[in-house]
Each structure stands twice: as C-alpha cells, then as structure tokens.
Amino acid sequence: MAVILIVDDDAGLRDGLAETLADLGHRPQMAATGNEALHHLEAHRFDAVLLDLRMPGGLDGIEVLRRIRAGPRPPPVAVLTAYASAENTIEAMRLGAFDHLTKPIGRADLKSLLERMLPQRDPLPGPHDAPEPSAGTFIGASESMRRVQKTVGLAADSDSTVLILGETGTGKELVARALHEHSRRAAKPLVAVNCAAIPAELLESELFGHVKGAFTGAGADRAGAFRDAAGGTLFLDEIGDMPLAMQAKILRVLQERVLTPVGGRAISVDVRVVTATHRDLPSLVASGAFREDLFYRLNVVPIVLPPVRERLADIVPLAEHFLRLSARSGMPKRLTAGAAARLLAHSWPGNVREIKNVIERANVFVRGDIIDADDLELIGRKCRCSSRSGAMARMRSADGARQAREGDDRPRAGGLRRQSRRSRAPSQHQSAAPLRKDAALRLRREAGVRNPDTNCRESRRQERGRLKSFNAFKFARTGTRVAVPVVMATTPSWQGE
C-alpha cells in the first residue's frame, strides 16, 4: 500500500481521486493549497504526489513542483491540470515531473499512472562501495579486459610505439589516456589528433606545424601536434585513414625522431606516439592502401580491444557506471533483473558507445528511480550464422517433403541416433535430471534467453556466455546460483517449453 498526496483546490476532484486511490489499495492524503502540501511533505514521507497546476494561496503547481524536486529524495510527482499548454507541459517535465496529464483522469488511466510511478519489481541492489565515477574510468573485469589492463601496465613506462586495434566504440582513446596517465610522461600534455577528420592537404601542417609565409594563409608560425605534445604523448586516432603521402613522412618521424615543419628546418622531438584504428591494417597493406614498413613500425606494442559481445561480464557494470555518471546529484537510477537480462541478450554492434547512449536515453525518459526492460530501446542484430542455419533448415524441410512425396519412410541417421539414446538404460544421474531441467529453464527465462538456433555454433556459444554472465551477476547481487546447462547441437525437448 502506497501513501499518495493529492494536491488540488477542487474539493470534488480531491474526494474523487481519494476514493479511487482507496479502491486501488492505496492510502490517500489531501491538501488544498501549495503551502499545505509542502507542510505535509515536511512532516510525512509520501510515495507519490498528484499535483494540480492552478491553485490559490500564492504558490502555483509549478513552484510547488520546483520546491519538491529541490528537496532530498523527492517523491515522484504527476501534474494534473485542466489547462494544459505547451509552455506548462515543457516546464513541468523540465523541472522533473514524472508525467503531465489533463483532467479529468479516468480510473484506468490513474491505475496505469500509479503502476508506472510505483514499480512493483525490486531493483537490483547496486554495489555499496562503488567509487566516485569519472568519464575516464577503466571499466572491465572480464578476462579479455584484464589482459588489456595488464598490457597497459606493462607498456605504460616504455617509449615504444603502441598500436590499439578494435571496433568503433570499444574505447581506444580511453586506453590511450590510460597509457599516458600511468606513464612517466603523465605530467606532460596528451595531444589527440583524429587523422580521419582532417583534410589531407591540412594534415601535414596540423601534425608538423609551419612557418610564417610557408603557404597562402600562413600568417603566423604554428608548432603542430608533435611539438604541442613535447615530452608527453601524441595519440594518432584512425591512422588507418591517413593518406599514403603522409604515411611516408610519419614513418621518418617515428624512425629518426626528427620532423620538418612546412617551409621550415628539421627539428628533433621527444614524444611518445600511440596510434589506433578500427581498420584491418594487414588487409590494407595487402591491397596497397597502407605502407607495410609503417605498419611494422607502428605494431611494436599491439593492444587488441575485444568487442562488447565478447566481454559479457562487463555489460551490466558498464551500464551501472553510466547510470552513476548520468546522475547529476543524489542516488542514480537502478536496473531491474529484467533490464540486466535484456542488456546481456543484446549484441551491441555499437559497443561501449552504444551502451552509453542507451543508458543516457533511459535516464532521460524514465522519471522513476528504477529502469526496467521495457525502458531500454535497443537495435537488434541477428547472429552472423543465421542465414547459413536458415538455409540448412530449408534444406532439411525440402528433404522431408521429397521423402513424403516418394513414400520414403526410412528413418534418417539422426532419428536412429535419437532412438538409440532413448533406448539406453537409465543412468544413475537421471533422477536429478528434472531438477537440473527446471533450474536451467528458470535461468533461461530470467535471463531473457530464448531457445537458440542450436545448429549454429556461434549461437550456442553466445547463449551459454549470456547465461553464465547473468548467473554470475545474479550471484553477486543475491547469493544464488544454478548450474548453467550445456547447449547441445540437438535441442532437448524441454529447452523450447
């Protein structure tokens, strides 16, 4: 039973709302003015507030809403008004109203509103010792990310060139910053240059600088990125998009530690170079689009960042990290078990950047303190093997239809194998099979994993990975764990129940 404060100067409407709330199993409290509502909120704790906009007494609904939201741990507030306009709707939502509805409100609409304002599902408890979040925090406890972190630690104090490889959105610049911040050069500048964002004719001047009068428009000397990063680190992002002519000049700087500004003389530089790309550099080398000698000069310390779909154990911690970053003040929103399961089931083609965008979007549109599965807007991606598996299924279907037309009732080999398995004597472990089956089914349903295409090896591997990650996440939060079943090539009948 929730305690709900009704703030409205219309006595008839207050009584009607109170009666409906009581019928729905809640305990209503009433206030006729804004001042009276604020006194109630100071003296008692409420689970929700239904607030009118136009009220007498010097305090209108907008000002009451502003004061409620300014307090510690404010309850969700729904604005009810008979005078809705674009201005008061935008202002109410900007100030933090849970929703903005027009009066009169029916019983069904009120029930729906309360179901959204008062979530029935318990959120997953967040970590009690979570550190103060920052945008540059290195999040990742999966085995693959642990290897990346160890490599960063080993290479941090070296002056060797580093090549960071990974898909778009995996956090290559974050790794470059970690290399700099944990190195002996941390007190010096870190300069980042996106080679794909600068026109080819300007890239040389951007990197090496120029002297006054070197070309039309060069009205003053320019140091360039290499000299701006003197003593520190220069991060060349998307180096796979660098023009071939520029690649030769970069190669000389890396070998000789000497650069020549446009129109100037050779200058020695002391800078550590870290590069990154999402492209397949060996393929570019084979096609002649990237210099082979530069590739080997860059590939001294390679760091390969895995995509998010291969580091399932990091998905929910990343989401919780971005929730903490999105919380301007107070407690951040929390995820339900259903939301965590949906995050784990997604393929994340945009990697960490997509997780950040999804969480920020949910944080903007969810007014309550809890984010559920339905609050997450995800763009799906099918398994890469789905077309192949679909073709195999169509071939099996066509083969069955052909046998039916020809009257061929001979059992196939697969059927013989299944029959032979069923005809075996029951083993000593079969008595525990129903319990394992029920536990595995509950885990699949809780994790939001449907029966995969079990003839697709990647689908079987991804399903088991998601189940293991969700099981570990659940154990960390609740202390309960069940055995993760092995996904076989021939799907047991109970998996599709």
3-class state of residue 449 by DSSP = coil
pLDDT exceeds cutoff 60 at 484: no
* Long-range contact pairs involving 381-384 (C-beta distance under 8 Å, separation at least 24): 381/347, 381/349, 383/452, 383/453, 383/456, 383/458, 383/459, 383/462, 384/458
Parse the chain into domains and list their residue ranges. Answer: 3-117, 143-305, 434-497
3-class state of residue 113 by DSSP = helix
Q: How far apart are CA 404 and CA 415, in angstroms?
A: 16
The CA–CA distances, whole Å, from 467 to 33, 125, 402 equal 53, 20, 39
Nearest to 225 by CA among 298, 245, 197, 216: 197
* Beta strand segments in 320-404, E: 334-335, 370-371
pLDDT at 497: 37
pLDDT exceeds cutoff 80 at 321: yes
Q: How far apart are CA 421 and CA 324, in angstroms?
A: 52
Across 463-471, average pLDDT: 65
Q: Architecture of 3-117 per CATH?
A: 3-Layer(aba) Sandwich (3.40)
Position 377 confidence tier, pLDDT thresholds 50, 70, 90: confident
The CA–CA distances, whole Å, from 331 to 350, 361, 383, 477, 492 equal 28, 17, 37, 18, 45
pLDDT tens string 246-265? 999 999 999 999 998 888 88
pLDDT above 70: percentage of residues in the chain: 72
Across 181-202, average pLDDT: 93
Q: How far apart are CA 76 and CA 74, in angstroms?
A: 7
pLDDT tens string 136-163? 567 888 889 989 999 999 999 999 999 9
Q: Architecture of 143-305 per CATH?
A: 3-Layer(aba) Sandwich (3.40)
DSSP 152-182: HHHHTT--S-EEEE--TTS-HHHHHHHHHHT
Across 267-294, average pLDDT: 95
Q: How far apart are CA 285 and CA 277, in angstroms?
A: 14
Instruction: Judge if 3-117 and 143-305 fold alike in CATH terms.
Output: yes
The mean pLDDT of the chain is 80
pLDDT exceeds cutoff 70 at 333: yes
Rounded to 10 degrees, the C-alpha dihedral 37/39/43/46 comes to 10
pLDDT at 393: 46
pLDDT tens string 408-434? 444 444 443 444 444 444 444 444 455
Q: How far apart are CA 239 and CA 131, in angstroms?
A: 34
